[in-house]
């Protein structure tokens, strides 16, 4: 088995399910992300599903680690996502 790294254990969770956020709010946030990071940032936003790790999203989009961290940090500060360990995500599912 390969060594487990911190990157493998970090998940990205939308603060609200995409279905519970109005279309207007999603478009508004996409616009803010686009204005700051371009299409690359919007691609990251679209790839977040609450199931993939940061590394899985990064690999799927073929993005540098520094760039994805920069965009995710912005989204986290804006309250769009929460960065959690996979263990935290699993614990919440079992509550």
Which tokens is 52 given? 């993939």
Q: Which residues, 6 or more positions from 23, have their beta carbon under 8 angstroms from its beta carbon?
A: none
Greater model confidence, 76 or 38: 38
Which residues partner with 12 through β-bridges? 83
- Select from 16, 13, 18, 20 the least CA-distant residue to 87: 13
Q: How far apart are CA 20 and CA 46, in angstroms?
A: 15
Greater model confidence, 14 or 7: 14
Q: Note the pLDDT of residue 87.
A: 74
pLDDT band at 16 (very low <50, low <70, confident <90, very high): low
Q: Note the pLDDT of residue 2.
A: 45
Q: Where are the beta strands (DSSP E) in the chain?
A: 10-14, 81-85
pLDDT in tens, 39-61: 999 999 999 887 888 888 999 99
Whether the predicted pLDDT of 20 surpasses 60: no
Whether the predicted pLDDT of 63 surpasses 50: yes
């Amino acid at each position: 088995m390969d060594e487990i790294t911190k990157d493998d254990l970090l998940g990205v969770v939308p603060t609200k399910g995409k279905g519970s956020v109005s279309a207007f709010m999603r478009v508004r946030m996409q616009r803010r992300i686009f204005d700051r990071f371009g299409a690359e940032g919007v691609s990251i936003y679209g790839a977040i599903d609450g199931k993939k790790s940061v590394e899985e999203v990064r690999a799927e989009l073929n993005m540098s680690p520094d760039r994805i961290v920069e965009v995710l940090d912005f989204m986290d500060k804006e309250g769009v996502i929460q960065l959690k360990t996979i263990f935290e995500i699993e614990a919440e599912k079992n509550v």
